[in-house]
Amino acid sequence: MKKYDVIIIGGGAAGMMAAAGLAQRGRRVAVLDMGTTPGRKVAASGGGRCNITNMNANHTRYFGENVNFVRSALANTKPGDILDWMTTHNLSVTEKAPGQYFCVQGADAVVAALMDDADGVDIKYETVVQDAEFINNQFTIQTNRGNFIADSVIIASGGTSFGVLGVSDVGHKIAKKFGHKIIPLRPALCGMAVQDFDPDLAGVTTEVEIKVGREIIADSLLFTHFGIGGPAVYRASVRDFDDGIMINFCPGKDIAQIMRDAKRTMGKKSVAGVLELYMPRRLARYFAQNDERRIADMPDKDILKIANSVSQFKIDAGNIKLHNLQSAEVVRGGVSTDKISSKTMESQLQPGLFFVGEVLDIAGDLGGFNLHWAWASARVAAKYA
């Protein structure tokens, strides 16, 4: 039975980045992965283009019970460091939105670069981890392909979202076995099933502002057959929305004043006719609720009621059902960071046991933040394992 310095459980973004860092230190490393190829989520990220990082990566764009946990790792691996890493592999980036970088050559090229850096690492595919034990100052990892032994173990098994790519909760089970608390999982970066809108709106896209707590998210919203989706909703879903959400469908405009002015300047138009100037036609008709009166004939109180529904559309938390983990891009919850060193990613309950990436109770915003966390946390663990 071959012994390794470090065994990494999971061959995703964090696992392969950790493997690369350890290989550069000359460590004997094995990566145990349940799939047939490495970096499956990386390959699927950004629609196959790989949202490699985001220049705005800081603790305010991450969520969990202790978001300050990310500060040290983010300070050690900045977005510019990842862009430099891309350059060393002759990969170029394109900026889709301010600070949001994608790989021009595609996600598969990023996976190939990770594999190149991990040269010399033993990668064991179709290897399902079943248990882990610490006996006689070494770890024994039990799998469907026999046992593997190492001085240190890095858990990079990810969360349980995006199940079509092959996911496992083994990282949570191992963490719990060694005394770590598991924060309950829920879907994040996903659509919301709500009953507040007409199903006929499905397919309509519009720019909105969504207020979640004290934060306002400005992005696009897509109506679906089940409710709402699109970037604005995905971003809202990763946050804590215990008090529900408030949607402004005419951001940056005083729609009440606009409609009062329309009584004088466009009096012959219907409410829907006025709203159509500021939003998609089907959405305007939804808010007008089939009211065909000329706007000039409408009392101000009726106009104000419609305007408020446009700019302050409240959806209570109890009326929101998140799409399931199968369709979610990430999860909220995971291994609590309470007993893990933010400086090294090492367990404070079991020396030699490290946790990186999405297996932890850290979830990033939409737009490259989760991949950046994978890179940053993995690079830290690779220095100390």
Measured CA to CA, the distance from residue 316 to residue 128 in angstroms comes to 41
Q: How many CA atoms lie within 13 A of 130 on its CB side?
A: 7
- Residue 162 is predicted with a pLDDT of 59
* Residue 363, H or E segment: strand 363-364
Measured CA to CA, the distance from residue 202 to residue 236 in angstroms comes to 19
* Assigned CATH class of 3-185+332-384: alpha beta
Mean pLDDT of 69-82: 98
For 272-309, the pLDDT digits (tens) are 999 999 999 999 999 999 888 899 999 999 999 999 99
* Assigned CATH class of 191-322: mainly alpha
Domains of the chain by residue range: 3-185+332-384, 191-322
Cα 339–chain centre separation: 23
* Mean pLDDT estimate for the chain: 94
* Token couple for 317: 């938390």
Q: What is the largest CA-CA distance in the chain?
A: 86
- Residue 328 is predicted with a pLDDT of 87
- Backbone dihedral angles phi then psi of residue 131, each to the nearest 5 degrees: -165, 165
Measured CA to CA, the distance from residue 286 to residue 225 in angstroms comes to 15
Of the pLDDT bands very low, low, confident and very high (cuts 50, 70, 90), residue 159 is: confident
- Residue 292 is predicted with a pLDDT of 87
Q: How many CB atoms lie within 10 A of CB 2?
A: 9
Measured CA to CA, the distance from residue 208 to residue 229 in angstroms comes to 12
Mean pLDDT of 229-237: 97
Cα 364–chain centre separation: 5
For 48-66, the pLDDT digits (tens) are 889 999 999 999 999 999 9
For 209-219, the pLDDT digits (tens) are 999 999 999 99
- Residue 324 is predicted with a pLDDT of 82
- Residue 122 is predicted with a pLDDT of 97
For 96-110, the pLDDT digits (tens) are 889 999 999 999 999
The SS3 assignment for 218 reads strand
- Backbone dihedral angles phi then psi of residue 278, each to the nearest 5 degrees: -125, 0
Measured CA to CA, the distance from residue 379 to residue 99 in angstroms comes to 22
Q: How many CB atoms lie within 10 A of CB 296?
A: 13
Share of the chain above pLDDT 70, in %: 98
What DSSP string describes 109-156?
Answer: HHHHHHHHHTTT-EEETT--EEEEEEETTEEEEEETTEEEEEEEEEE-
Of the pLDDT bands very low, low, confident and very high (cuts 50, 70, 90), residue 2 is: confident
DSSP β-ladder status, 62-63 and 93-97:
unpaired
Are both 3-185+332-384 and 191-322 of the same fold?
no
- Residue 40 is predicted with a pLDDT of 82
Residue 256 has pLDDT above 70, yes or no: yes
Residue 44 has pLDDT above 70, yes or no: yes
pTM of the model: 0.94
Which residues are registered as beta bridge partners of 193? 227, 321
For 160-188, the pLDDT digits (tens) are 765 555 568 999 999 999 999 999 999 99
